[in-house]
Structure 1
Amino acid sequence: MLFLNPRATRADYPAELSAIMNIAQAHQSREWLSSWRGIHPNATPLYDLPDAAARCQVGRLCLKDESVRSHLGSFKALGAPIALVRQILRLHPDFEPAAILAGRYAQALRGYTVISATDGNHGRGLAAAAQDAGCRCVIVLHAHVSPEREQAIAAYGADIVRIAGNYDESVHEATRLAAAHGWQVVADTSYDGYEDIPRDVMQGYGAIAAEIVEQTSAQRGRAGTFTHVFLQGGVGGMAAGLASYFWEYHGPQRPRFISVEPAQADCLLQSAIQGRPAKATGTVDSVMAGLACGETSPLAWRFLQPCVDVFMTIEDEQAIEAMRALAQGSERDTPIVAGESGVAGLAALEWLRSDPQRSEQVGLTAESRVLIISTEGATAPREYTRLVGQSAEQVLQRQQAWQAAHSLQTQPA
């Protein structure tokens, strides 16, 4: 489904939004995380995919590969860890920010417990950060989170609580447990009276946009390299974190933003239709586990409503085909390991370009320059192998061979 947002504007980044999230805070978060062992020090690759661009009939297609951001395998390594750091600083303002995840204050934090619900990647990021900081972590998982993802979270020392419901019910259970035991919720979705930590999570994602600006030599206040940017939906946090950065940086010359989510977890699209944060209309059970969210984050919606131009949904089968296409690579495109949620942008682009009317509605032409974000790698390796027909290790071996043969430059000129 496709919905053109009548409330999207092209103006300077509003002061009221800048007071909540801004480039300066994004850079501070990036600096604080730079010394954490859970983050690789270099920017993640920005790949040119000329064959995929030709297939989609666009002028240029670039993919930002967040699978190599961290050993955690996803962009979530930027969100929960920095939110934990900022929350600890509220309690201990004398702590040195960069030293928190180095474990320097582990003794002082031994009695501190954080909790969150997750579809997988957020919980894994929080568990890893809590383990390094020295505090306890409890993670609530719903029925559709695979045992493989549970094991990946538990490997970082988190205590796991299982519930029978869906993601949104796991969010409510985490809130209940926190109130009952005096624990601190570190979630990536907001609700009434709970906005500071979700804001910190979203602000952390701004590091991705900052790297893209650097990698493309963009100039502030001017149109950048890309005319269209596809952003994964979920509760809206990742989309808000990146869109707000690009909006503040480019101003009225910002690219066109397109939000993508599973058809059965269409909370952002429904929010756009209704003009307020809304719930999904489907089962919220998708192979795109990281995007299987039923309720829009009200805080994220404050940023998305005025700047996302198009809201759309895709089917699970489209995501699986996109996973296979990226894994296969081509003569001019390096093979890429992209997980179920990571391929949403490519799947959406292919669907839009398969119909001239849809393309015209969103302004896609043969001259368009498109950015997609692969938000995760094979965070559930067995599931990845089942869906793609080859393992992530096999794809990475072919990627290494391809890049060696092509002397790949990962940062487009």
Structure 2
Amino acid sequence: MFLLNSHPDNGQPLLPEDAETLGAAGAAAVEAQIRLRENYAVTPLHDLPGLAAQLGVGAIQVKDEGHRLGLGSFKALGGSYVVVKLVLEEAARRLGRPIDIAELQSSAVKEVAASLTFSCATDGNHGRSVAQGAQLVGARAAIFVHSGVSEERIAAIARFGATMIRAEGTYDDSVAEAARVSAEKGWTVVSDTSWPGYERIPGLVMQGYTALVAEALRQMKEPPTHVFVQVGVGGIAAAVAAHFALVLGEKRPVFVAVDPARAACMFASAQAGGPVKAEVGEPTVMAMLDCYEPSLVAWRILSRVADAFMTVEDEDAVAVMNRLARPVGGDPVIVAGESGGAGLAGLIRVAGDPAMRAQLRLDATSRVFVVNTEGATDPARYAELVHGKAA
């Protein structure tokens, strides 16, 4: 399914708080923090000339977040960044003076951190990031997972010392349970989705994601003309779209938000003209995008700066995993998890449809940017889908 953005807010400026969080200054703040990590490295930006020629576009560039901060996912930029930031803010409040990040490992700050518990609901990658951040500063982490999260992904979170809590139902049910229990226990929820009255922290999580766009712009010879990014609750798509719009202004690229057909909460919201819950059915193979309610902050951003919304099928995502693993035309091998190539799957679907190409002005001169949002974060599942090996 494909839909041009017809919302009345389309083309309107971002709200001031979103522009402040997701612009160049916000990305610089994130990069200043993550550069201090022991495993910091700029992730690769790969050119895919072989695939670009097949699809009839000028260039395809993939930002490969499968190498990010030892976690294998762009989520490493969000949750852990926010945990560190909130610890420094709380230390400043208790100690009555500004606290620089250089003091993060000081005894005074570590004493503050040890008194804090950070919680979240996760499909896997966000929980790893929050747990990693808590371990980094000496705080505690309580991570809520729903029934669809694999044991391998749970173990990957638990190795950071997090307390794992099972919640019945879908991802959205685990979000509600995390909020309820955290309110009872006085824990700080670091969620990548937002709801009425809870917007600042999800906004900061999204700010973390802008670092990958700032890196990519420095790696490019020319900015892209088109961008396809997967949705989930919308944080990554909104962060990427907003940063491009704020930094490039009138030269910003055409932006397409890509949902899994089985969990198309942002597409459904675009159809309805406002945020709605998508119908819950069979889970999508794109496990990190198996979300049925959009983040309110992400919706208000995408309603302004997304040019189109679309869906891709599970088989499209699996086909991209295999295409990147066995590339053509001299393209590099890229390891993409089930959700990692959904944006690229959107491009492939559009490129094969003359009507959609025309609507997006996609042609042989177009320079397309996509994000591989995760590597093989569930190795057994990756082996099954790409190499035909039983999980």
**TM class by smaller structure:** over 0.9
Check 1:26–1:33 CA distance in 2 against 1; reply closer, same or farther (3 A cut): same
**Counterpart residue number, 2:267:** 269
Question: Within 5 A, what are the aligned runs for 1:233-248?
Answer: 233-248=231-246
Check 1:358–1:102 CA distance in 2 against 1; reply closer, same or farther (3 A cut): farther
The alpha-carbon deviation at position 280 of structure 1 amounts to 1.3
Question: Within 5 A, what are the aligned runs for 1:97-176?
Answer: 97-100=101-104, 105-176=109-180
Could you tell me which amino acid in structure 2 is paired with residue 76 of structure 1?
Answer: K
Taking the aligned partners of 2:65 and 2:107, their CA distance within structure 1 comes to: 25
**Counterpart residue number, 1:324:** 322
Check 1:14–1:197 CA distance in 2 against 1; reply closer, same or farther (3 A cut): closer
Verify: 1:28 aligned to 2:29, yes or no. Answer: yes
Structure 1, unmatched stretches of 5+, are 218-223, 392-413
**Counterpart residue number, 1:87:** 86
Question: Within 5 A, what are the aligned runs for 1:291-306?
Answer: 291-306=289-304
**Counterpart residue number, 2:53:** 54
The alpha-carbon deviation at position 282 of structure 1 amounts to 4.0
Check 1:105–1:92 CA distance in 2 against 1; reply closer, same or farther (3 A cut): closer
The alpha-carbon deviation at position 89 of structure 1 amounts to 2.8
**Counterpart residue number, 1:396:** none
SS of equivalent to 2:371? strand
Check 1:357–1:381 CA distance in 2 against 1; reply closer, same or farther (3 A cut): same
SS of equivalent to 1:105? helix
The alpha-carbon deviation at position 374 of structure 1 amounts to 0.3
The alpha-carbon deviation at position 283 of structure 1 amounts to 2.1
Determine if contact 2:12/2:304 at 8 Å carries over to the other structure: no
Structure 2, unmatched stretches of 5+, are 93-97
Determine if contact 1:231/1:345 at 8 Å carries over to the other structure: yes
Check 1:99–1:315 CA distance in 2 against 1; reply closer, same or farther (3 A cut): farther
The alpha-carbon deviation at position 331 of structure 1 amounts to 4.0
The alpha-carbon deviation at position 12 of structure 1 amounts to 6.3
TM-score, normalising length: structure 1? 0.88
Taking the aligned partners of 2:24 and 2:107, their CA distance within structure 1 comes to: 28
Decide which moves more: 361-370 or 238-247. 361-370
Taking the aligned partners of 1:19 and 1:353, their CA distance within structure 2 comes to: 34
Taking the aligned partners of 1:103 and 1:203, their CA distance within structure 2 comes to: 28
Render the CA deviation track for 1:365-407: whole Å, top value 9, x for unaligned.
Answer: 122111110010000011100000079xxxxxxxxxxxxxxxx
Taking the aligned partners of 2:18 and 2:137, their CA distance within structure 1 comes to: 31
Verify: 1:70 aligned to 2:36, yes or no. Answer: no
Could you tell me which amino acid in structure 2 is paired with residue 6 of structure 1?
Answer: S
Taking the aligned partners of 2:161 and 2:108, their CA distance within structure 1 comes to: 18
The alpha-carbon deviation at position 13 of structure 1 amounts to 5.7
Decide which moves more: 353-362 or 3-12. 3-12
Check 1:88–1:284 CA distance in 2 against 1; reply closer, same or farther (3 A cut): farther
Determine if contact 2:49/2:329 at 8 Å carries over to the other structure: no
Query: Which of residues 369, 372, 375 in structure 2 aligns to 1:374?
Result: 372
Query: Which of residues 323, 327, 333 in structure 2 aligns to 1:335?
Result: 333
Could you tell me which amino acid in structure 2 is paired with residue 131 of structure 1?
Answer: Q
Check 1:176–1:211 CA distance in 2 against 1; reply closer, same or farther (3 A cut): same
Determine if contact 1:49/1:61 at 8 Å carries over to the other structure: yes
Determine if contact 2:90/2:112 at 8 Å carries over to the other structure: no
Taking the aligned partners of 1:102 and 1:272, their CA distance within structure 2 comes to: 48
**Counterpart residue number, 1:220:** none
Check 1:285–1:181 CA distance in 2 against 1; reply closer, same or farther (3 A cut): same
Determine if contact 2:21/2:207 at 8 Å carries over to the other structure: no
RMSD across aligned positions (CA): 1.9
SS of equivalent to 1:351? helix
SS of equivalent to 1:32? helix
Could you tell me which amino acid in structure 1 is paired with residue 28 of structure 2?
Answer: H
Could you tell me which amino acid in structure 1 is paired with residue 212 of structure 2?
Answer: I
TM-score, normalising length: structure 2? 0.93
Taking the aligned partners of 2:258 and 2:27, their CA distance within structure 1 comes to: 23
Could you tell me which amino acid in structure 1 is paired with residue 214 of structure 2?
Answer: A
Check 1:46–1:385 CA distance in 2 against 1; reply closer, same or farther (3 A cut): same
Taking the aligned partners of 1:14 and 1:79, their CA distance within structure 2 comes to: 21
SS of equivalent to 1:92? helix
Determine if contact 1:168/1:294 at 8 Å carries over to the other structure: yes
The alpha-carbon deviation at position 135 of structure 1 amounts to 0.6
Check 1:256–1:88 CA distance in 2 against 1; reply closer, same or farther (3 A cut): same
Percent sequence identity over matched residues?
44
Taking the aligned partners of 1:64 and 1:34, their CA distance within structure 2 comes to: 18
